[in-house]
Amino acid sequence: MPRTALVPALTDLLFRPELHLDTAIDRHFAPDYRQRTDGVWADRAGFVEHIAHLRSVVVDGRIRLHEELSDGSLYADRHTIEVRKTDGSTVAMEVYLFGEFAPDGRFRRIEETTLMLAGSAADRGLGSAR
């Protein structure tokens, strides 16, 4: 079964508002998905809440994938995400991500650390904001 990929997943989640949130999440994330961002764990319901919040504050943006590795069900990457928010401000973060795929090719777990490159101090927690 083909695996999901990071850039299409983030694009569907954040930059395709016409795609229903549940559809975007079901496409790329397993039912038992969980995520840890900068030390904060979220189950799938918490992740849905996080993405819904981001969709309410993000207008558009882009993702640049710098490095990507996979070994069996394990996955790692380093990417930069830049977003423009509804208030016109911009945020850029470099993300170091380690994850695991479910047998069906969707993400089962992601653990990531973010490095703020641009944005206000209030945007520092954007990676796990709800």
Q: What is the pLDDT of residues 75-93, one digit of tens each?
A: 999 999 999 999 999 999 9
**Phi and psi at residue 92, to the nearest 5°:** -130, 135
Q: Is residue 126 one of the residues assigned to a domain?
A: no
Q: Is residue 129 one of the residues assigned to a domain?
A: no
Which residues pair with residue 37 across a beta bridge? 40, 112
Q: Is residue 76 one of the residues assigned to a domain?
A: yes
Q: Is residue 54 one of the residues assigned to a domain?
A: yes
Q: Contact at 8 Å (CB) between 29 and 109?
A: no
Domains: count for the chain: 1
Q: What is the pLDDT of residues 16-46, one digit of tens each?
A: 999 999 999 999 999 999 999 999 999 999 9
Q: Is residue 128 one of the residues assigned to a domain?
A: no
Structure tokens of 8?
Answer: 């299409």
Q: Is residue 37 one of the residues assigned to a domain?
A: yes
Domain range for 99 is 6-121
> Any idea what the CATH number is for the domain that residue 46 is in?
3.10.450.50
Whole-prediction pTM value?
A: 0.89
